Amino acid sequence: MNTITIFGRKFTWLEVIIHLGAWIPLLLISIKFFNGGLTVNPIQDIEQRTGRLAILWLVLSLSCTPLGNIFGWKEMIKRRRTIGLYAFIMAFIHVSIFIALDFGFAIDLIIAEILEKRFILLGALAFNGLTLLAVTSFKYWQKKLKKNWKRLHRTIYVIAPIVVIHYGLAKKGNLLSLQGDIIRPVIYAVIVTLLLVMRIRPVRQWLKNFWDRLTTKVANWRKSQSPA
Ligand code: HEM
Q: What integer pLDDT is reported at residue 110 of this predicted model?
A: 98
Tens-place pLDDT, residues 29-49: 999 999 998 989 999 999 999
Rounded CA gap, 153 and 150, in Å? 5
- 133 CA to middle of ligand 1, Å? 19
Distance from residue 212's CA to the centre of ligand 1 (Å): 39
Residues near ligand 1 (Cβ within 6 A): 44, 47-48, 51-52, 54-55, 58, 91, 94-95, 98, 120, 123-124, 126-127, 130, 163, 166-167, 170-171
Q: How far is residue 83's CA from residue 94's CA, in Å, rounded to a whole number?
A: 17
Tell me the per-residue pLDDT of 155-214, one tens digit each, with 9 for 90 and over: 999 999 999 999 999 987 666 676 668 889 999 999 999 999 999 999 999 999 999 999
Q: Would you tell me how many other CB atoms lie within 10 Å of the CB of residue 13?
A: 12
Q: Which residue has the CA at smallest separation from atom 16 of ligand 1?
A: 44
Q: What is the mean pLDDT of residues 215-223?
A: 95
Q: What percent of the chain has pLDDT over 70?
A: 96
Residue 60 CB: number of other CB atoms within 10 A?
20
Using an 8 Å Cβ cutoff, are 79 and 137 in contact?
A: no
Return the percentage of the chain with pLDDT > 90, whole number.
89
- Helix H or strand E segment including 23: helix 13-35
pLDDT of residue 175: 64
Provide the Cα torsion 13, 19, 24, 26; round to 10°. 160
CA of 188 to the centre of ligand 1 (A): 14
Average confidence (pLDDT) over 117-132: 97
